[in-house]
Amino acid sequence: RNFEDESTREVLDDLVKSLRLDCPAPRTAPRLLDKLCGHFIEDHIVNPTFIIEHPQVMSPLAKWHRSKEGLTERFEMFVMGKELCNAYTELNDPERQLACFQDQAVAKSQGDEEAQNVDQGFVVALEHGLPPTGGCGCGSDRLVM
């Protein structure tokens, strides 16, 4: 599915409304999709579970999947409905990263508190070259939730 398409966003928005899920503005496709994932998937996970290959629109810093269009090289681990870690291959293409940052900046200007501004310094660093890189976030805050 093309999450950049307005008709897709409208379908997601209608579903969120019909389920009476709280999703304050801006009601972008990534935010709506995140609410739906939480409602249908994340909140129901009991056993240790990995959610893999997130849509690109939900993962602005993750490298795009090498063989599955529209997805990223990313995973999250959940236990008892809580996210314990988030990991992904870093997007190291400066042009793609700049476009993702610009999309984030638009979302931030529309009221998305989780969206980021353009990090021009990071884009310049990518232009100089970033070897294949990955990371995994698992802070103590996640373990004591």
Q: What is the pLDDT of residues 21-37, one digit of tens each?
A: 999 888 989 999 999 99
Over residues 109-122, the pLDDT tens digits come to 988 888 889 999 98
Whether 42 has a pLDDT exceeding 80, the answer reads yes
User: What average pLDDT is seen over the chain?
Assistant: 89
Using alpha carbons only, give the angle 78, 79, 82 rounded to the nearest 5 degrees.
65
Does a cis peptide bond (omega within 30 degrees of 0) precede residue 26? yes
Whether 141 has a pLDDT exceeding 80, the answer reads no
Give percent of the chain above pLDDT 90: 54
What DSSP designation does 74 have? E
Residue type, 51: I
Say what angle helices 94-109 and 120-128 make with each other, to 10 degrees.
Answer: 170
Instruction: Name the phi and psi angles at 53, rounded to 5.
Output: 55, 60
- Distance between CA atoms of residues 64 and 53, nearest Å: 9
Give the global pTM: 0.78
What the block records as the tokens of 85 is 């870690």
Whether 47 has a pLDDT exceeding 90, the answer reads yes
Other CB atoms within 10 Å distance of the CB of residue 114:
10
Region 84-99: mean pLDDT is 90
